[in-house]
């Protein structure tokens, strides 16, 4: 089990395109969290969010991802949540204990999946687990 103090992440100041703490956009938050909390360096682009195939192992930029259905999310694992609207990637966050940590122009929040679904009601949410690093 992991122990993470989310206070640091709730202090993020939203900045479009931001990749340096504390000035981060939604993808910058995901990158920072995975690097600092899990020791995993994600690619600088949003290649994970370009995934389209259900239940397929995805290899992008030497990181291997697996799409997970919402009912398969576990409390003892972390996931990347990607929000889509109109068939395009729109937003992302980190799933921790079935809640989503995310940031936007409206601020940074740690909310239940159902609250996020209401907030982004027109958008589909897909979940990805990083299953390994260094895939070729």
- The domains located in the chain, with CATH, are 7-133 (3.90.1720.10)
pLDDT given at position 28: 93
Pairing of strands 88-96, 23-24: unpaired
pLDDT given at position 11: 93
Q: What distances in angstroms separate CA 70 from CA 83, 106, 108, 131, one per listed residue?
A: 13, 25, 22, 17
pLDDT given at position 56: 37
What does the pLDDT profile of the chain (136 residues) look like in tens digits?
567 889 999 999 999 999 999 999 999 999 999 999 999 888 766 666 665 443 333 334 467 888 999 999 998 889 999 998 887 888 999 999 999 999 999 899 999 999 988 887 767 899 999 886 543 3
């Amino acid at each position: 089990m992991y122990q993470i103090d989310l206070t640091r992440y709730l202090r993020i100041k939203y900045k479009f395109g931001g990749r340096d703490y504390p000035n981060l956009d939604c993808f910058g938050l995901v990158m920072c969290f995975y690097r600092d909390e899990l020791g995993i360096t994600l690619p600088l682009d949003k290649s994970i969010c370009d995934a389209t195939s259900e239940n397929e192992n995805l290899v992008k930029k030497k990181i291997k991802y697996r799409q997970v259905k919402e009912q398969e999310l576990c409390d003892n694992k972390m996931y990347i949540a990607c929000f889509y609207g109109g068939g395009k990637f729109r937003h992302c966050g980190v799933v921790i204990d079935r809640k989503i940590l995310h940031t936007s122009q409206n601020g940074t929040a740690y909310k239940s999946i159902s609250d996020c679904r209401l907030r982004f009601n027109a958008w589909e949410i897909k979940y990805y687990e990083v299953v390994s690093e260094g895939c070729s």
